[in-house]
Structure formats: C-alpha cells, structure tokens
Amino acid sequence: MASWEVLGKPANILAMDRQSEFHERIGGDNLAALWVARRGMDLTRPASPAEPVIWPYDEIRCHLIEAGDLVSAGEAFRRVLVLENPAFKGRMQATNTLYAGLQLVLPGETAPCHRHSQTAIRFVIEGAGGYTAVDGERIPLSRGDFVITPNWTWHDHGNRGDAPVIWLDVLDTPLVGFLDTVFRENYPKPLHPIIRNEGETRARYGAGMIPVDFDPSQNPLPLTHYPYAESRAALTAMADSAPPDPTHGLKMQYTNPATGAPATPTMAAFLQHLPKGFIGQSYRSTESTVVCVAEGRGRSTIDGVSLEWGPGDVFVVPGWLRHRHEAEDEAVLFSVSDRPVQQALGLWREERHGGGANL
C-alpha cells in the first residue's frame, strides 16, 4: 500500500469523506457551510426565477365570465382569477414581490368589506358603473382609472351599472408575506357605511392643492383615485410637445400629491405612451413589473422572449432581464413595480443600452 493511501483510499477521497461527514454532522446542529451552499452559484448579478409571461385578456375574460356563473362575488369574497407566474405555481405571485389578479363584479353585486396590511392597486380594464369604497367613500371606476387601496383601509366593491366590471388588482402580498407582517380583519357588516361624498377626496387632494395644515404622517396616501381621462389627456399633451425617450417612449409616474413620493410606499405605478411604430431601445432595471395594456397593440421582447400584446393583456417583466417595447399602433401601457422598496433601501439599479437591437 502506497503511503498516500489509507485503507486503500487516496488522500483526496478521504478528505472528501471527512468533509461530507462534517457537513452532515453540523446540519444536525442547524448549521451549514457557506462554501458548500454557494458552490457553483453566479452571485455577480440578480437571477430572478420569475418568467416573462403574458395573460391575453380575451382568454382570461372568458374564464372570468364563466366564474361569474359559478360563484357570486359575496360567496367568493373576491371573485378573482390570480395571474400566477409559472415559476411560482401555487404561490399566488406574478413576480417575486407582486401579486396580480383580474377581478369581476357583476351588475348589482357587492364584495364584502375588509382591511389588511397589504396595499392594493387597481386598474380598470372594462365596464362602467363599478365602484370601490375606501374608508366609506365610493370611488367610481371607469376604464383606465387607477385606484389605490392604502393598507389598513376598509374597502368593499360594487357594481351599480348594467354590464360586468373587470379590473386588474396588483398587491404587495408576496413582499408583505415575506416580511411576516400580514394582518387582516373583516368589517362586522357586509359593507362599510358611506360617510363621505363621492369625489370628496379628489377635491381635497387631487386638484393641485392640499389643506393648509395637512400632515402626511396622519394620512400617508391621501389621494386614491387617478381618473384615466385626466392621465390620458396629460400624456397626449406631452406626447404632442416633446419627442419620446428612446427607451420608454413617454413614461410618467403617478405620485402622492402631498409628498411627491411614488403612488404607494411599496409599489410605484406608471403610465406610458408609445407612438405608432415606436421601437424602443433595450433596457433593464432591478425592479419587477406587472404591465397592463391600456390601449394599442405591440410587442415586448424580454430576455429574448417575444410577447405580442393588445388591450387588456397583462404581462410580467421580471427584474434585471433586458427588454424592449415596440408599438404597432399608438399604445398606452399601465405598469406597477416594486421600485419604491428597492430605492428606499438603496438597491435599485438600471442599465440602458443603445442601438435598439442588442437584446
């Protein structure tokens, strides 16, 4: 037997045996060896498991209308089809931080009142006559309206019209769940009493003024309704007066009018105009994004995956994947991302690429 062998095994095999035995033994003490756990991992850049994926509105709408036959809004509590990223099957996640779903409220229905520690963003895809009530004030929902349900506010929904109302919900539930900060409470009655006139909050905070003694710490998200008629008119006026950004077209961020901060502390919302024939340059940022097509048709190429889109479609742009948008017709995209959280923590990064074709 050669001197470097013990019991017929080469010394390097013996060392590996000792290492494996060590790893197993310390596992019993709830310990792990960092040099093993990180072996082979590329730690130089983010690699989100989330996939670029699209939910075509026509298909989801069919399923939603069928769901409308199967279950009432009251019985379901919220009649929602969850947009689940295939990378997170069974976990109700569109991205690592964002939940997305399409909600249907039929004429005459109401959805019961509750509140929770997650913040909700709603973007109306179809219908008129719908409303959501936030802390006892009804907010009428028209197509393209952007509405916020701030965390821990009472909210119920209804439809006083004669056609189905469908909207996109985006919530920060994966993030709030990750932080172990989920609280939830049902209101003791099905609906919260109406305690403010319709339009009161918009008059107070949405007319370019705020009450003289307003204290944002007492009311962190004062404005909850951003009607499409106003947002779209602003986009049109700006698109007519300045050339589009080569990457984003004309991209505007919804803001908290009292502070200038993003629309909510956890989720930013954007409205973006792409002129007819626009071919955007490629871009990536660390935020993960849920996009809903408000108007027009086009295509987004995300990490080499091409997604064709039209009105009402919802798609996901995971963080740090190169992507670019192209518009066949004049198009408007509404989007929600986790950028405020990343920025607040000093983690957000972006990277622009010239040329347009370097995906």
Q: Minimum distance between the CB of residue 171 and ligand 1HN, rounded to whole angstroms? A: 5
Q: Total residues contacting ligand 1HN (rule CB under 6 A)?
A: 12
Please, which residue, 65 or 82, has the CB nearer to ligand 1HN?
A: 82
The sign one gets for the Cα dihedral 168, 169, 174, 175 is: positive
CA distance 292 to 316: 9
Under rule CB under 6 A, residue 173 binds ligand 1HN:
yes
Structure tokens at 259: 């502070």
Task: Please identify, among the stretches 116-124, 139-147, 231-239, 337-345, the one whose residues bind ligand 1HN according to the rule CB under 6 A.
Answer: 116-124
Please, which residue, 78 or 251, has the CB nearer to ligand 1HN?
A: 78
CA distance 205 to 186: 28
Please, which residue, 54 or 105, has the CB nearer to ligand 1HN?
A: 105
Q: Minimum distance between the CB of residue 240 and ligand 1HN, rounded to whole angstroms? A: 36
Task: Please identify, among the stretches 55-63, 114-122, 205-213, 322-330, the one whose residues bind ligand 1HN according to the rule CB under 6 A.
Answer: 114-122
Under rule CB under 6 A, residue 159 binds ligand 1HN:
no
Under rule CB under 6 A, residue 101 binds ligand 1HN:
yes
CA distance 297 to 315: 13
Under rule CB under 6 A, residue 171 binds ligand 1HN:
yes
Under rule CB under 6 A, residue 138 binds ligand 1HN:
no
Q: Minimum distance between the CB of residue 358 and ligand 1HN, rounded to whole angstroms? A: 38
- Give yes or no for a contact between 141 and 176, defined as CB atoms under 8 angstroms apart: no
In the chain, alpha helices (H): 11-27, 34-37, 57-70, 73-76, 173-178, 200-205, 228-241, 339-344
Please, which residue, 192 or 273, has the CB nearer to ligand 1HN?
A: 192
Spacing of C-alpha 286 from chain mean position: 14
Q: What is the 3-state secondary structure (H, E, C) of 285-309?
A: ECCCEEEEEEECCEEEEECCEEEEE
Structure tokens at 261: 């901060």
Q: Minimum distance between the CB of residue 232 and ligand 1HN, rounded to whole angstroms? A: 24
Q: Minimum distance between the CB of residue 132 and ligand 1HN, rounded to whole angstroms? A: 7
CA neighbor of 101 nearest in space, from 166, 156, 147: 166
Footprint on this chain of ligand 1HN (rule: CB under 6 A): 78, 80, 99, 101, 103, 116, 118, 120, 155, 169, 171, 173
